[in-house]
Structure 1
Amino acid sequence: MTTAVLNPVKAFTLIALGLAIAAMGIYVANADDAPGAAVIGMLLMVVGVVLGVRAARNRLPMWAARSALAVGVVVAAFAAFLTHAVVVTAPLFPQSQEVPSVVASAPSPQHTAAVERARELVRAAVLEQNLPGVSVAVGAGGTVIWAEGFGWRDVVTRTPVTPDTRFNIGTAASAVSAAAARLGLTNTGADAAKEWSPEAIGEEGEDFPPLTLLRHVIWQPLGLMPAEYPLPGHRATFYVPRSDDNPGRGRRLMYMRDLACCANGMAFYSTPFDLVRFALATHPDSVNGELAGGMVMSLLTGRDSGIVIAVTSNMAHANTSSLALRVADAFAQQTR
Structure 2
Amino acid sequence: MASTVTNNLRAAALIALALAIGAMGIYVGEVDDAPGAGGIGLLLMIGTVVLGVKAARNRLPAWAARTGLAVGVLIAAFAAVLTHAVALTVPLFAQPQDVPSVIDSAPSPQYSVAVGRARELVRAAVLEQNLPGVSVAVGAGGTIVWAEGFGWRDVDTRTPVTPKTRFNIGTAASAVTADVIASLGLTNTGADAATAWSPERIGEPGEDFPPLTLIRHNILQPLGLAPAEYPLPDDRATFYVPRSDDNPRRGRRLMYMRDLACCAGTMASYSTASDMVGVGLAKRVSVNGELAGGIVMSLTTLRDSGIVVAVLSNIAHANTSALSLKIGDAFAKQAR
TM-score bucket of the superposed structures, by smaller chain: 0.7 to 0.9
Distance 1:66 1:17 in 2: 10
One-letter code of the match for 1:156?
D
Q: Does 1:306 align with 2:306?
A: yes
Distance (Å, rounded) in 2 between the aligned partners of 1:41 and 1:47: 10
152 and 263 in structure 1: CA distance in 2 versus 1, 3 angstrom threshold = closer
- Per mean C-alpha deviation after superposition, the further-off stretch among 22-31 and 263-272 is 22-31
Alignment-mate amino acid for residue 33 of structure 1:
V
RMSD between aligned alpha carbons? 3.2
TM-score by length of 2: 0.87
Give secondary structure in 2 for the equivalent of 1:309.
Answer: strand
- Which position in structure 2 is the counterpart of 1:167? 167
Q: Which residue of structure 1 aligns with residue 245 of structure 2?
A: 244
**SS of aligned partner of 1:316:** coil
Please say if residues 299 and 309 of structure 2, whose CA atoms lie closer than 8 Å, have aligned partners that are also in contact: yes
Q: Note if contact 1:300-1:325 (Cα within 8 Å) is conserved in structure 2.
A: yes
Secondary structure of 1:123's counterpart equals helix
Q: Report the counterpart of residue 33 of structure 1 in structure 2.
A: 31
Q: Give the equivalent residue in structure 2 for 1:229.
A: 230
Q: What displacement does 1:244 show?
A: 1.8
Give the structure 2 partner of residue 138 of structure 1: 138
Q: Is the 8 A contact 2:107 2:145 kept in 1?
A: yes
Counterpart in 1 of 2:271? 270
Task: Give the secondary-structure state (helix, strand or coil) at the position aligned to 2:222.
Answer: coil
Helix, strand or coil at the partner of 1:218: helix
The alpha-carbon distance between structure 1 residues 14 and 159, as it changes in their structure 2 partners (threshold 3 A), is: farther
Shift of 1:129: 0.2
What secondary structure is seen at the aligned counterpart in 2 of 1:276? helix
The worse-fitting range, judged by mean Cα deviation, of 82-91 and 268-277 is: 82-91
Structure 1 CA distance for aligned equivalents of residues 121 and 266 of structure 2: 35
Q: Which moved more, 1:84-93 or 1:135-144?
A: 84-93
Q: SS state of the match for residue 230, structure 1?
A: coil
- The sequence identity of aligned pairs, in percent, is 67
| AA aligned opposite 1:81 | V
One-letter code aligned to 2:31: D
- Is the 2:132–2:153 Cα contact (8 Å) retained in structure 1? yes
Residue 212 to residue 193, structure 1, CA distance change in 2 (3 Å): same
SS of equivalent residue, structure 1 residue 321: helix
Q: Identify the residue that residue 256 of structure 2 maps to in structure 1.
A: 255
Aligned to 1:148: 148
Seen in structure 2, the aligned counterparts of structure 1 residues 137 and 145 have a Cα distance that, compared at 3 Å, is: same
Counterpart of 1:115, as a letter, is V
Question: Matched residue of 2:218: which SS?
Answer: helix
Secondary structure of the corresponding residue to residue 126 of structure 1: helix
Q: Which amino acid aligns with 1:157?
A: T
Q: Give yes or no for contact 1:12–1:55 (8 Å, CA) kept in 2.
A: no
Aligned length: 328
Given that 2:29 and 2:217 are in contact with CA atoms closer than 8 Å, whether structure 1 keeps it comes out as no
Could you report, residue by residue, the CA deviation over 1:22-72 in whole angstroms, capped at 9, with x for unpaired residues?
Answer: 5586466446636996997996686577457546664xx632430221221
Contact 2:296 2:318 in 1 (8 A): yes
**What secondary structure is seen at the aligned counterpart in 2 of 1:111?**
helix
Asked if 2 retains the 8 angstrom alpha-carbon contact of 1:247 and 1:317, the reply is yes
Give the structure-1-normalised TM-score. Answer: 0.87
- Which deviates more, 200-209 or 296-305? 200-209
User: Could you say if the C-alpha distance between residues 214 and 157 of structure 1 is closer, same or farther in structure 2, counting changes exceeding 3 Å?
Assistant: same
Equivalent position of 1:209 in the other structure: 210
